[in-house]
Amino acid sequence: MTSTSVIRSLALVALLTGSQMTIEAFSVPNKIARTRANSAPLSMVLESKAEGVAPIQTGEEAPAVEIDGYNNIVGTDGVAGGQPNERYKAISLQAIDKVAEKHPQLTPHLRDVKLAGLVFPFKASPYYVDELVDWEAEDVRKDPFYRLVFPTLDMLSDEHREKLEEAHDAGDPANLIKVVGEIREDLNPHPAGQKTLNAPKDDRLTGVQHKYSETVLVFPAAAQTCHAYCTYCFRWAQFIGDDELRFAQKEADSLFSYLSEHEEVSDILMTGGDPMVMKTRSLAQYLEPLTDPNFLPHIKNIRIGTRSLSFWPQRFLTDNDAD
């Protein structure tokens, strides 16, 4: 098995299984990494949506390993010699033709992706597209990495598909926007009453769900995007530019005030979107106050739901605030 095959296999396991990576000495930022002194431990967990890989305990040293490919880098303590320090640049639906120029196997499926992308949000990272999708597969549409981020009309019912294709082919942009909106509304972007039943009745808490008695979900406004969007994502309404459908918490103080009134809460889940798209200084406003053992002492666990370990590992390796 080649080194590229190994990294693809590990990434696929990480994406399609479910576990957690516990980081006892968390480095975002360094002063946040700790166990509360003189109190019950506060564990900080990077809850990988891209999961299943054995945990890397901080403190372990492993040499960086350069894998075949421009973007690939594996390691926990540095960058292999000559590895470019690549900046993240999202691949949007508007750039999909350029992806097809680089990977011609996509060309026959451009109409499918573009039409489906009118309804479902599309975004991918260069690392994901260039290193994880198997463009040499006999049928790239069956590659699990392709299917995970490239939308298809097969995600729609026959009725919605026909309606969308007719509106697109008619060449009336205004009507196409109208039809896309109708289809999205039919898809029920917030099932089970999550906009009303789980949200606290406080106008300041625009991005908080008290979903379980002991757990509060926080949707930081700066985290309501991802390095790449999953085709199965049930929170796709977060990413289509409709503020009425979007959870987004703009500041931390009202969250802390709410938590102070609910001592039954022991767990905070930072979610989105993906909190690891945030700059470290933005994450700090939510996490840094909890380094004080006397501040909200009933909070025992903080989890961060992320796919960045698979979608953009440079966030932890070479980005300008990776440390």
Q: Which CATH class is domain 196-317?
A: alpha beta
State the pLDDT confidence band at 104, using cuts at 50, 70 and 90: very high
pTM as predicted: 0.70
Question: With contact defined as beta carbons under 8 Å apart, do 83 and 122 qualify?
Answer: no
Distance CA 85, CA 52 (A): 27
DSSP string, 173-193: HHHHHHHHHHHHHHT-SSGGG
Q: In whole angstroms, how far apart are CA 202 and each of 42, 243, 265, 279?
A: 27, 17, 17, 27
195 vs 158, residue with greater confidence: 158
Pairing mode of beta strands 301-306, 215-218: unpaired
- Give percent of the chain above pLDDT 70: 66
Distance CA 268, CA 287 (A): 10
Q: Residue 240: its pLDDT value, please?
A: 57
242 vs 102, residue with greater confidence: 102
Q: Residue 201: its pLDDT value, please?
A: 66
Which residue ranges make up each domain of the chain? 91-186, 196-317
State the pLDDT confidence band at 298, using cuts at 50, 70 and 90: very high
* Res. 35: pLDDT tops 50: no
* Res. 42: pLDDT tops 90: no
